[in-house]
């Protein structure tokens, strides 16, 4: 009876009720979208790197080292000497290392020089290894492996030539155009910055810089391809390296000894710890977004209360009729709250539907532009709690009009 | 006619009012002060009063919608003040039917649901309601095709007749009616009152009919001016 009464009452006030529901839906949409994006961003963020015990680079801020080595954001302040790298890699507690050299790019995507170990040991997500969508990891000096988005955005296929640019700009005037690379493999999408990276061998990076002086190509100095193939292309320096240990027990000992490395200022970080640190620097943004979203919700719920309060005057007759046939004040209170519940549930359904279809529609563009893969699965462990919270706040705010209606029904002159 | 002047025997009275005083919350003066008034079972009373004389207030007090400031209202030998608010609402649903001047139905519900709502509060079964609604519709000369229509799509005359059906759906002993014909034209008015009186007689319901319109009084054998029972005089007080 409640349901029928509330439903028909809402239907009879069509226009204002629909506007109110739309306003509630929009605010719930904002709240859910903020929450979902936050959840997804945190998830993909924390899954950028996995199974790596230490990341070593030149001494700088911990967050900075993580940013340029894993997220490919910003630049290294300094490089590491190859001999330092080798000495640490030879430590008996070290199981494997992945050296990386950054600094070049291809049409705005970063090029990362590394070793084949990268394909064996690097992990992301829940300890997931990299997988090849096509082709194989690089074997030749001039082989390049593309991240999924690089291949997709630039429409590259296996065997296509790739000219690497010096520096990081999207349009660079100094191209390594005399020594083009060849696409040897394309990776499966990972939802990490690897998707936007081109991977070549360390020797390949070294090779394209032979004959360069102070970052400038000297014409006529570049040796031909065949000569390069036989040269010793062990790099002088690398940007950073990742370390996997035989046993986690050695983590802190090795970290300390790297931090106190005598020959040059090095730093080792635990990726998990630094990821948490980095995320907590975003807590402010995250929290203020959430606060704004809740405020938007409260404002639209208050709008709903205003609408209900404004309608009470003309509904006084209705309450009088209900009282005359035996409705108590409790019934009238519940009838108003039922109307609120219906409006909020409808708004909620609309918001979820729009968000869900919006994500399905925008999933691909978002992941291509920002590298953030938004899952269309809106159910998080705390979603239920969030929705219950919204209903709770709505019913609480609705007590205002409900009590007012009850008061009108009790004390109003009924005739 | 079963009218008899046996007002002083309270046991026989369906409605019994003693020392009733009422004022609206706030500082306003007393609206009603009725030392003694009774209505016998099955009586059909025309309560006459000018507008603003407190007729509607009295009906709301009799129905237990408004609580009396002082004194006693007894319906069917039940003191309303002795009941809790919830019990009073329940008592009203079961034993009292009310019809107002106009707008008696929830406009956005259809006729069936308006009637069902009333039986819902009285705790009646759906089947019993169905049968009784059919009988009432027949007696009130209402077409069954009105049942699924929205209440505000009916003509005023139809609405008022549905209002009687709704008021009588739980077979109440008491029917309180407040100028139900003010929105009807004179021809409809007389037919409406005839119907109302017939149906009350059939069912033996006690009827209190309040109005300022003396033309209608002709249909009643028993006419009581409100001023004769109320000590408060409303010479020019209009609320």
Among A113-122, A240-249, A311-320, the range scoring the smallest mean pLDDT is A311-320
Q: How far apart (Å, rounded) are the C-alpha atoms in residues A403 and A407? A: 6
- Shortest distance, CA B195 to any CA of chain A (angstroms): 21
Whether residues B107 and A12 touch (CB distance < 8 A) is answered with yes
- Residue A349's pLDDT is 95
The 10 Å CB-count burial string (b at 16+, else e) for A293-324 is bbebbeebbeebbebbeebbeebebbbbbbbb
Decide: helix, strand or coil at residue A12.
helix
**β-pairing, A54-58 with A266-269?**
antiparallel
Q: Above 70 in pLDDT, residue B36? A: yes
Chain A residues lying within 8 Å of B122, measured CB to CB: 326
**CA B103, CA B49: separation in Å to the nearest integer?**
21
Q: Please enumerate, as own/partner, the contacts of A404-407 that have beta carbons within 8 Å and a separation of 24 or more.
A: A404/A309, A404/A312, A405/A312, A405/A315, A405/A319, A405/A332, A405/A333, A405/A335, A405/A336, A406/A329, A406/A330, A406/A332, A406/A333
The answer to whether the beta carbons of residues B222 and B1 sit under 8 Å apart is no
Q: Do B118 and A326 touch (CB under 8 A)?
A: yes
Instruction: Establish if B33 belongs to a structural domain.
Output: yes
What residue numbers bound the domain in which B175 lies?
10-229
Residues in chain B: 239
Backbone φ and ψ of B111, nearest 5° = -60, -45
Distance (Å) from the alpha carbon of B182 to chain A's nearest alpha carbon: 13
pLDDT digits (tens, 9 = 90+) for B148-182: 999 989 998 899 889 999 999 998 999 999 888 87
Indicate the number of domains in chain B.
Answer: 1
Assess whether pLDDT exceeds 70 at residue A173.
no
Whole-number Cα distances in Å, A347 to A342, B169, B172, B218: 8, 38, 43, 57
**What are the structure tokens assigned to A331, written together?**
């019934």
- Residue A116: pLDDT over 80: yes
Q: Does the beta carbon of B105 lie under 8 angstroms from any beta carbon of chain A?
A: yes
Contact status of A26 with chain B (Cβ, < 8 Å): no
Please report the pLDDT score of residue B1 as a whole number: 39
Q: Is it the case that residue B27 has pLDDT exceeding 70?
A: no
Whether B235 is in a domain gets the answer no
pLDDT tops 90 at residue A174:
no
Q: Tell me, yes or no, whether B135 lies in a domain.
A: yes
A415 interfacial to chain B (CB closer than 8 Å): yes
Verify whether the Cβ–Cβ distance B121 to A318 is below 8 Å: no
Q: Report the DSSP pairing between strands A143-146 and A197-201.
A: antiparallel
- pLDDT surpassing 70 at residue B16: yes
Q: How far apart are CA B97 and CA A122, in angstroms?
A: 81
Mean pLDDT, rounded, for B40-64: 88
Alpha-carbon dihedral sign for residues A338, A344, A350, A352: negative
- The 10 Å CB-count burial string (b at 16+, else e) for A134-146 is ebebbeebbbbbb
CB contact set of B44 (below 8 Å; sequence gap of 6+):
B3, B197, B200, B201, B206, B207, B209, B220, B221, B222
Would you say B35 and B231 are in contact if contact means Cβ atoms under 8 Å apart?
Answer: yes
| CATH number of the domain that residue B31 is part of | 3.40.50.300
Asked if A12's CB is within 8 angstroms of B120's CB, the reply is no
Predicted pLDDT of residue A415: 43
Q: Do A327 and B63 touch (CB under 8 A)?
A: no
What is the DSSP code (8-state) at residue A69?
I
Q: Is A47 on the interface with B (CB under 8 A)?
A: no
Pairing of β A54-58 and β A161-162:
unpaired
Average pLDDT over chain B reads 85
- B106 — contact with chain A (CB < 8 Å)? yes
CB-CB: which of B65, B103, B108 is closest to A8? B108
pLDDT band with cut points at 50, 70 and 90 for residue A215? low
Mean pLDDT of A205-232: 74
**A412 confidence band (pLDDT: 50, 70, 90):** low
Residue B75 resides in a domain: yes
B188 domain-assigned? yes
Q: What is the pLDDT of residue A238?
A: 93
With an 8 Å Cβ cutoff, is B166 touching chain A? yes
**Beta strand B206-211 with B174-178: parallel, antiparallel or unpaired?**
parallel
Neighbours of B125 (CB within 10 A): 9
In contact, A102 and A246? CB cutoff 8 Å:
no
- Tell me whether residues A327 and B89 touch, CB distance under 8 A: yes
What residues in A contact B177, CB-CB < 8 Å?
none
Q: Are residues A202 and A113 in contact, defined by beta-carbon separation less than 8 angstroms?
A: yes
């Amino acid at each position: 009876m409640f349901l029928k009464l509330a439903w028909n009452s809402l239907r009879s006030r069509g226009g204002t009720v629909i506007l109110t529901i739309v306003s509630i839906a929009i605010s719930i949409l904002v709240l859910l979208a903020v929450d979902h994006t936050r959840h997804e961003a945190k998830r993909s963020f924390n899954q950028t790197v996995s199974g790596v015990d230490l990341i070593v680079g030149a001494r700088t801020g911990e967050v900075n080292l993580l940013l340029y080595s894993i997220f490919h954001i910003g630049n290294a302040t300094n490089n590491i000497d190859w001999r330092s790298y080798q000495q640490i890699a030879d430590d008996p507690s070290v199981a494997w290392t992945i050296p990386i050299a950054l600094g070049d790019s291809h049409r705005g995507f970063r090029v990362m020089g590394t070793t084949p170990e990268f394909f064996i040991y690097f992990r992301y997500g829940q300890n997931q290894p990299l997988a090849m969508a096509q082709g194989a990891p690089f074997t030749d000096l001039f082989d390049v492996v593309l991240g999924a988005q690089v291949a997709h955005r630039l429409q590259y296929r296996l065997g296509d030539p790739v000219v690497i640019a010096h520096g990081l700009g999207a349009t660079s005037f100094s191209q390594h155009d005399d020594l083009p690379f060849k696409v040897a493999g394309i990776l499966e999408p990972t939802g990490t910055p690897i998707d936007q990276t081109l991977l070549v061998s360390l020797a390949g990076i070294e090779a394209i810089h032979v004959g360069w002086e102070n970052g400038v190509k000297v014409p006529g100095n570049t040796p031909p391809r065949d000569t390069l193939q036989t040269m010793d292309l062990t790099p002088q320096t690398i940007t950073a390296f990742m370390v996997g240990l035989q046993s986690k027990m050695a983590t802190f000992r090795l970290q300390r000894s790297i931090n106190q490395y005598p020959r040059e200022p090095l730093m080792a970080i635990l990726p998990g710890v630094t990821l948490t640190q980095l995320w907590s620097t975003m807590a402010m943004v995250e929290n203020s977004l959430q606060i704004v979203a809740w405020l938007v919700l409260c404002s639209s719920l208050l709008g709903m209360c205003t609408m209900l309060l404004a309608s009470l005057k003309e509904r006084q007759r209705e309450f009088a009729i209900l009282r005359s046939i035996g409705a108590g004040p409790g019934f009238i209170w519940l009838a108003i709250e039922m109307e609120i519940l219906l409006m909020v549930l409808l708004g909620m359904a609309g918001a979820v539907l729009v968000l869900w279809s919006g994500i399905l529609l925008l999933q691909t563009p978002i992941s291509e532009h920002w590298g953030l893969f938004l899952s269309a699965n809106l159910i998080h462990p705390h979603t239920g709690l969030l929705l219950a919270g919204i209903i709770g706040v709505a019913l609480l705010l609705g007590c205002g009009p409900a009590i007012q209606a009850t008061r009108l029904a009790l004390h109003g002159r009924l005739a | 006619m079963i009218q008899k002047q046996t007002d002083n025997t309270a046991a026989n009275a369906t409605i019994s009012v003693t020392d009733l005083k009422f004022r609206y919350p706030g500082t306003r003066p007393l609206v009603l002060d009725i030392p003694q008034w009774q209505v016998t079972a099955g009586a059909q009373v025309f309560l006459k009063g000018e507008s603003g004389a407190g007729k509607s207030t009295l009906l709301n007090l009799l129905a237990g919608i408004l609580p009396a400031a002082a004194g006693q209202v007894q319906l069917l030998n039940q003191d309303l003040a002795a009941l809790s608010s919830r019990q009073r609402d329940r008592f009203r649903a079961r034993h009292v039917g009310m019809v107002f001047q106009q707008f008696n139905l929830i406009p956005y519900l259809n006729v069936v649901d308006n009637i069902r709502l009333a039986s819902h509060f009285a705790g009646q079964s759906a089947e019993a309601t169905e049968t009784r609604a059919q009988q009432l519709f027949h007696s009130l000369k209402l077409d069954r095709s009105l049942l699924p229509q929205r209440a505000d799509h009916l003509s005023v005359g139809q609405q008022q007749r549905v209002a009687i059906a709704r008021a009588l759906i739980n077979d109440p002993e008491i029917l309180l009616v407040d100028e139900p014909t003010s929105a009807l034209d004179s021809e409809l008015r007389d037919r409406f009152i005839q119907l109302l009186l017939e149906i009350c007689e059939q069912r033996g319901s006690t009827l209190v009919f309040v109005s300022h319109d003396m033309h209608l009084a002709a249909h009643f054998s028993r006419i009581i001016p409100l001023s004769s029972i109320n000590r408060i005089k409303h010479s020019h007080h209009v609320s």
